[in-house]
Structure 1
Amino acid sequence: MEQPLKGKVALVLGMANENSIAYGVARALKAQGAELAITYQTDRTRDFIAPLIDELQPGVLVKCNVQGAGELEAVFADINAKWGRLDIGVHSIAFAPKDDLHGRVVDTSAEGFSLAMDISCHSFIRMARLAEPLMTQGGTLLTMSYYGAEKVVPNYGVMGPVKAALEASVRYLANELGPRKIRVHAVSPGPVMTRAASGIPAFDALLEESAAQAPLRELIDIDDVGAAAAFLCSDGAKRLTGTTFYVDSGLHTRA
């Protein structure tokens, strides 16, 4: 089997369980030959992903809360010590307090908005800053967005503006890091039942509606996202950067 990412070093942030988009991406990168560094948020999360770790066999496995002082920096120090370089960085982290996520955007608290922006958006910028010196031969940075960044999606709340900021950050980072041959993309999956998605009100109805409206008339899964991510990290996408790459059965084309 051809392995277009053989020998590449890939960091995947945000794996929580077997339903995580981060797991689908890590599995695809591994299948295409990449060596993995994987983070988990808490000791409890470590228990959830234990069977996945046995499968993925990461060269670096470390706990990381992106809000913890020095924790993200420690991840990159471990990668530098292990490989001395990084080729791929995947950011699959998002959070908003329940009250702000379930409420109206106009009622969002300053504290809730700041927290959602820090974890869901600024941590990607921090990841990019830390990755840059290790991507001496260029590389690819990916983050996960959603169509609610572009259009109003019922019950998506404050995460809409936050994801819009994330997609804008992707474009600016692509421009700034392009001279170093570092490519930056947002991957925008259609709705997938993950632990994070379970906190969105009426999500089951959103899944049903999405399957009915998408041109392909079907939902996507984490392996679809993984395949797209692996492509964006490959030489086949070496002239692509700064995009929002939709993996949603065409749902984003519908009015």
Structure 2
Amino acid sequence: MFSLQGKKGLVVGVANEHSIAWGAARSFREAGADLALTWFNDKARPYVEPLARSVDAQILMPLDVEVPGQMEAVFQAITTQWGRLDFVLHSIAFAPRSDLHGRVTDASREGFARAMDISCHSFARMAHLAEPLMAHGGSLLTMSYVGAEEVIPGYGVMGPVKAALEASTRYMACELGPKGIRVNAVSPGPLATRAASGIPDFDALMADAIARAPLRRLVDLDDVGALCTFLVSDAAKSITGNTLFVDAGFHVL
């Protein structure tokens, strides 16, 4: 593992032990990082709190990016308690079911805008708040999917939204690079998470991934966590503006 000893990071998106963000948080902690974690709402809190305790999270707060002031409160707590931040993991996404299951052509204005705000613009907002805390450089990570680059049946409006997220990653990498802040997206293969359960025929999608991937298998949370840990470590100090796949090679076919 790459050492994160002495680094402090914010992980947004842990919902339960199956979350991609949890796989990353666990790996960050094993590498020595001090963590701040957030829960989405009161329903998620009982699932997140025990996980946070298991990684000795020093800051644990609510964060619904649609609630005014909650994101600012999280970063204020980090400022007060730590005074700096070395990395952020943004692992949240949402689209209304009707827009996710329907055609992009038929996406509602409100649903498209809401999916873009939660899944994409919230990453830019986090970057804006993290920038002053990264005076000596840092790393910002977000989670994408191959549906940003090719059509995945049933992925609906999230395809264009993830494409916008990847483009935002490149632009922010250029804007923040002179300050030593790196920005990357990680694109895992299909994983059985709560968010993925909303995609129609997801079991068939996973079976197809196994059949198509050169390694003939799915990836797991440890695979994703290991890549994230590398990317926020000093070993990746020259890597920015990328979308890095961890999908057993699924994206090449």
The interval holding the TM-score normalised by the smaller chain is over 0.9
Q: 1:224 to 1:3 in 2, by over 3 A?
A: closer
5+ residue gaps, structure 1: none
Q: Which residue does 2:32 correspond to in 1? A: 33
Q: Is the 2:2–2:229 Cα contact (8 Å) retained in structure 1?
A: no
Q: Is the 1:189–1:225 Cα contact (8 Å) retained in structure 2?
A: yes
Q: Is the 2:149–2:163 Cα contact (8 Å) retained in structure 1?
A: yes
Q: 1:146 to 1:3 in 2, by over 3 A?
A: closer
Deviation string, structure 1 residues 81-139 (Cα, Å, up to 9, x no partner): 11000000000000000000000000000000000000000000000000000001100
Q: Which residue does 1:129 correspond to in 2? A: 128
5+ residue gaps, structure 2: none
CA distance in 1, matches of 2:116, 2:185: 16
Q: Is the 2:138–2:181 Cα contact (8 Å) retained in structure 1?
A: yes
Q: Is the 1:89–1:140 Cα contact (8 Å) retained in structure 2?
A: yes
Matched residue count: 253
- 1:44 maps to a residue whose letter is K
Q: Which residue does 1:82 correspond to in 2? A: 81
Q: Is the 2:2–2:233 Cα contact (8 Å) retained in structure 1?
A: no
Q: Which residue does 1:20 correspond to in 2? A: 19
Q: Which stretch has the larger CA shift, 89-98 or 2-11?
A: 2-11
| Secondary structure in 1 matching 2:123 | helix
Q: Which residue does 1:114 correspond to in 2? A: 113
Q: Which residue does 2:150 correspond to in 1? A: 151
Q: Is the 1:3–1:31 Cα contact (8 Å) retained in structure 2?
A: no
CA distance in 2, matches of 1:35, 1:169: 27
CA distance in 2, matches of 1:162, 1:119: 10
Q: Is the 1:28–1:226 Cα contact (8 Å) retained in structure 2?
A: yes
CA distance in 1, matches of 2:81, 2:204: 45
- 1:220 maps to a residue whose letter is V
Spell out the pairing of 1:176-215 with structure 2 (5 A cutoff).
Answer: 176-215=175-214
Q: Which residue does 1:11 correspond to in 2? A: 10
User: Which of structure 1's runs of 4+ aligned residues deviate more than 3 A?
Assistant: none
Give the Å deviation of 1:3.
6.0
- 1:48 maps to a residue whose letter is Y
CA distance in 2, matches of 1:218, 1:251: 9
Give the Å deviation of 1:48.
1.4
Give the Å deviation of 1:49.
1.9
Superposed CA RMSD in Å reads 0.8
Q: Which stretch has the larger CA shift, 39-48 or 18-27?
A: 39-48
